[in-house]
Structure 1
Amino acid sequence: MAGYDAGQVAELLRKIGSHDELLANAYVYGSVVTDQAEQRTINLLHKAGLLRPDDEPGEFRLTTDFKRMLNRLMRKQSSYRQLTDMGKVIEALDETVYDFQQAVQAKQSDDAEFYLDQLDDLLYETKDGLNTNLENMHYAIVSQFGFVSTLTNKIRQNERYLNHAQNLLTELQQIDPESCYEWINWPCPNDFARKITGFIYWFNQTLPRLRFIIDNMRLSLFRLRRDEKQASQLRNMARYLRQHPEFELKEQLFEEPGFPESLKFAPAMNLCSYVDPHNTAIETPLMNLVQSLRKQNNQPVNKQRESATVVISSIEKLVYESDFFEEQSDSLFEQAIETEQPVSAIAFWQKYQLDWVRQNQHIHPKAWIELVFSCYCKLTNDQQAALDIKMIGSADVGVPDNYTYNDLEIILR
Structure 2
Amino acid sequence: MNINLNKSGVSLLNALSNHSELIMQAYFSGSVNEAEYSPNIIQSLIDLKVLWRPESDVQLRLRPSLRTLLEESLQDESNRQIDANIGNLLATLTTQAEHYKEALAHQKYHESQAHLSDLTEHVYTLTETLSTNVRLLWSRISNEFGYVSSVDAKIRENELAQTQVTDMLNQLSMFHFDALSQLAGSHRELRHLLVITLQSAFATSTQELSLVQSKLLELLGRFREFKGRTRLLKGFMLHMEQKPDFTPVNYSTLSQVPSLFNRADGIIKVAAPDIHNVEHEFELTSLVNSLRTVNRLWQGKLNREVANPLILEQETSVSLEEDLLKNAVENYFCEVIDSGQNTRALDYYNNHNLTFDQEVWIYQVLGAFQGLPDSERQYFDIDLEGVPHQVFDGNFIIQDIELGLR
- Using structure 2 for the length normalisation, give the TM-score: 0.52
Displacement after TM superposition at 1:108 (Å):
1.7
Choose 117-126 or 44-53, whichever is displaced more. Answer: 44-53
The 3-state SS of whatever aligns with 1:220 is helix
1:142 matched to which residue of 2?
142
Partner of 2:190: 192
Residues 93, 122 of structure 1: 8 Å contact kept: yes
CA contact (8 A) 1:169 1:207 kept: yes
Name the stretch that deviates more: 147-156 or 50-59: 50-59
Residues 33 and 177 (structure 1 numbering): CA distance in 2 closer, same or farther, change over 3 Å?
Answer: same
Superposed displacement of residue 148, structure 1: 1.7
- Specify which of 3, 8, 11 is matched with residue 11 of structure 2: 8
In structure 2, the residue matched to 1:85 is 86
| Equivalent residue, structure 1, for 2:41 | 44
Report the aligned-residue RMSD: 3.7
Shift in alpha-carbon separation, 1:25–1:99, aligned structure 2, 3 A: closer
Asked if the contact 1:155/1:224 (under 8 Å) is kept, the reply is yes
Amino acid at match of 2:5: G
CA distance in 2, matches of 1:91, 1:233: 53
Contact 1:162 1:214 in 2 (8 A): yes
Name the SS for the 1:246 alignment partner: coil
Instruction: Call closer, same or farther: CA 1:54–1:104 in 2, change over 3 Å.
Output: closer
Query: CA separation of 1:64/1:201 partners in 2, compared to 1, >3 Å: closer, same or farther?
Result: closer
Deviation string for 1:264-286 (max 9, x for gaps)?
xxxxxxxxxxxxxxxxxxxxxxx
Partner Cα distance (2:177, 2:171) in 1: 13
1:145-179 deviations in whole A, cap 9, x for unaligned? 12222211111011011012023213323533244
1:195–1:67 Cα change, 3 Å:
closer
Q: Which residue of 1 aligns with 2:353?
A: none
Aligned partners of 1:90 and 1:161: how far apart in 2? Answer: 24
| One-letter amino acid of the counterpart of residue 3, structure 1 | L
Amino acid corresponding to residue 220 of structure 1 in structure 2: L
Residue 175 of structure 1 is matched in structure 2 by 175
The equivalent of 1:208 in structure 2 is 207
**Which ranges of structure 2 fall in alignment gaps of 5 or more residues?**
248-280, 283-311, 322-406
Partner SS, residue 132 of structure 1: helix
Q: Please give the per-residue CA displacement for 1:306-344, whole angstroms capped at 9, x wherever unaligned.
A: xxxxxxxxxxxxxxxx9986845x969x99xxxxxxxxx
In structure 2, give the amino acid aligned to 1:199: L
How many angstroms does 1:244 deviate by?
A: 2.5
* 2:234 aligned counterpart, secondary structure: helix
The corresponding residue for 2:68 is 68
Range that drifts further, 67-76 or 43-52: 43-52
Measured in 2, the distance between the counterparts of 1:144 and 1:103 equals: 51
Alignment of 1:398-413 (within 5 A): none
What corresponds to 2:221 in structure 1? 222
- Seen in structure 2, the aligned counterparts of structure 1 residues 171 and 64 have a Cα distance that, compared at 3 Å, is closer
Task: Count residues in correspondence.
Answer: 252
Partners of 1:79 and 1:133 within 8 A in 2: no
- 8 Å contact from structure 2 (residues 97, 190) kept in 1: no
